[in-house]
């Protein structure tokens, strides 16, 4: 199936699913039944780490929302309004940010206490229909990461080469599924947590040296970024390596890319890249490269202990690195390699780490 057909197909599926949600309610009313919606539970007891898939998935527990329950009437009304809004967006080929939807809802007959509440209803709709909010036309505020390297894409009938867009590269669009990958001349992807490190790798021409795409994650990776990494891994067969700060937060950012997050268990099948590898910075790197460090704070220690119990970190290597970091009581940033000069990370550290892997 051509990429354009895939996009059209996803739009049709979204419209049909949204319409059938409304039709089910009308049908129940016509049969003199009390309408109810089944919404998969997103409670922690229904979020399961799937050992085979290597990411979090939702279990099969449902909550019932019934118009016969006075407390649940506003919830169903909110969902119907959001679904109708989304149907209109998809039909017209438009998108709206979650913030815009919140402001549009001021003119509806239902009330959202705050944006957090309307965001949650958007997630309820995602999980009920088994589609991502992006497929329903709803976008986050933030853009995705920056990509630099020889990847040619087609977006809105315009060809884009991520090597020819200046030093900041290509910004991953929230509608990344609408983007077609036409051609590439790379054999791997190196993602880095900070934009400082992204710019360093671009300046030192790491894309030539390692024949790679460089992705600057901008901290915790946005959903579009995670979707992009999954697509280049699956569709283009490119191995993905993640190089983050050597602290529990850097580990966590990498692990959300690899195994998904518990909060988004219902869409991890589209977002997780279980074959992605953590390249560094590790506790072993801190020791082996004698990096400048900061002492672990109490909150870091607490977080590391939480990670050690998390099923995503069951791997021996992760357990060893977490224990080692607790033992040395230190953390280090990616930029700390600058101690040995600005070129060191590309000339020495990354080649050594990639060889070891």
Mean pLDDT in consecutive groups of 10 residues from the start of the chain, 357 residues = 83 94 94 93 93 94 91 93 96 94 94 93 93 92 88 94 92 92 97 95 96 95 95 97 97 97 92 96 97 97 97 95 98 95 95 93
* Same domain, residue pair 131 and 78: yes
Find where tokens 């998969």 sit: 40
* CA dihedral over 302, 303, 307, 310, signed as positive or negative: positive
pLDDT of residue 357: 86
> Residue 185's domain is classified under what CATH number?
3.40.1360.10
* Same domain, residue pair 60 and 42: yes
Domain boundary among 104, 139, 174: 139
pLDDT of residue 278: 97
* Same domain, residue pair 176 and 305: yes
pLDDT of residue 140: 86
CA 49 to centroid of chain Cα atoms: 17
* Same domain, residue pair 88 and 220: no
> Residue 30's domain is classified under what CATH number?
1.10.10.10
103 catalytic? Reply is yes
* Same domain, residue pair 167 and 212: yes
What is 240-303 written as a DSSP string? EEEE--BSHHHHHHHHHHHH--STTTTTHHHH--TT-EEEE--HHHHHHTT---EEPPHHHHHH
* Same domain, residue pair 232 and 346: yes
pLDDT of residue 95: 94
Closest CA to 172 of 198, 153, 197: 153
Closest CA to 86 of 72, 67, 105: 105
3-state secondary structure of 54: coil
> What number of other Cβ atoms are within 10 A of residue 296's Cβ?
19
pLDDT of residue 142: 75
> What number of other Cβ atoms are within 10 A of residue 23's Cβ?
11
Of residues 56, 62, 81, 103, which has the active-site annotation? 103
Number of domains composing the chain = 2
* Same domain, residue pair 123 and 150: no
Q: Residue 97 and residue 142: Cα distance in Å, rounded?
A: 9
What is 178-242 written as a DSSP string? GPEEEEE--SEEEEES-HHHHHHHHHTTHHHHTTEEEEE--SSPPHHHHHHHHHHHHHS---EEE
CB 308 within 8 A of CB 317: no
pLDDT of residue 197: 95
* Same domain, residue pair 184 and 237: yes
Domain boundary among 139, 159, 175: 139
* Same domain, residue pair 198 and 295: yes
* Same domain, residue pair 177 and 104: no
pTM, full prediction: 0.92
Q: Which domain holds residue 115?
A: 3-139
pLDDT of residue 8: 79
* Same domain, residue pair 187 and 301: yes
* Same domain, residue pair 49 and 115: yes
Domain boundary among 139, 165, 196: 139
């Amino acid at each position: 199936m051509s990429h354009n057909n895939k996009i059209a197909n996803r739009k049709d599926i979204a419209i049909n699913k949204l319409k059938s949600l409304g039709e089910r309610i009308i049908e129940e009313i016509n049969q003199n039944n009390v309408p109810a919606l089944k919404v998969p539970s997103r409670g922690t007891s229904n979020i399961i780490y799937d050992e085979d898939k290597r990411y979090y998935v939702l279990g099969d527990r449902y909550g019932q929302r019934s118009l016969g329950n006075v407390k649940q009437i506003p919830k169903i009304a909110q969902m119907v309004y959001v679904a109708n809004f989304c149907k209109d967006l998809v039909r017209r080929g438009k998108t709206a940010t979650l913030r815009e939807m919140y402001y549009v809802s001021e003119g509806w007959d239902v009330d959202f206490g705050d944006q957090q509440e309307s965001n949650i209803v958007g997630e309820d709709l995602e999980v009920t229909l088994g589609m991502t909010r992006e497929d329903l036309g709803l976008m986050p505020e933030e853009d995705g990461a920056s990509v630099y390297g020889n990847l040619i894409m087609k977006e809105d009938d315009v060809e884009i080469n991520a090597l020819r867009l200046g030093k900041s590269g290509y910004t991953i669009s929230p509608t990344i599924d609408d983007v077609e990958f036409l051609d590439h001349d790379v054999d791997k992807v190196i993602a880095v947590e900070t934009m400082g490190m992204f710019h360093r790798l671009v300046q030192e021409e790491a894309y030539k040296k390692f024949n790679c795409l460089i992705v600057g994650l901008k901290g915790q990776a946005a959903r579009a970024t995670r979707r992009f990494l999954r697509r280049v891994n699956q569709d283009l067969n490119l191995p993905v390596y993640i190089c983050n700060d050597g602290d529990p937060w850097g580990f966590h950012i990498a692990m959300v890319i690899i195994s998904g997050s518990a909060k988004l268990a219902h869409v991890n099948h589209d977002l997780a890249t279980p074959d992605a590898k953590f390249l560094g910075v590790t506790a072993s790197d801190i020791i082996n490269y004698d990096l400048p460090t900061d002492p672990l704070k109490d909150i870091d220690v607490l977080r590391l202990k939480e990670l050690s119990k998390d099923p995503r970190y069951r791997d021996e290597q992760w357990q060893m690195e977490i224990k080692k970091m607790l033992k040395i009581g230190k953390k280090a940033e990616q930029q700390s390699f600058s101690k040995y000069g600005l070129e060191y990370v590309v000339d020495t550290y990354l080649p050594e780490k990639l060889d070891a892997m």
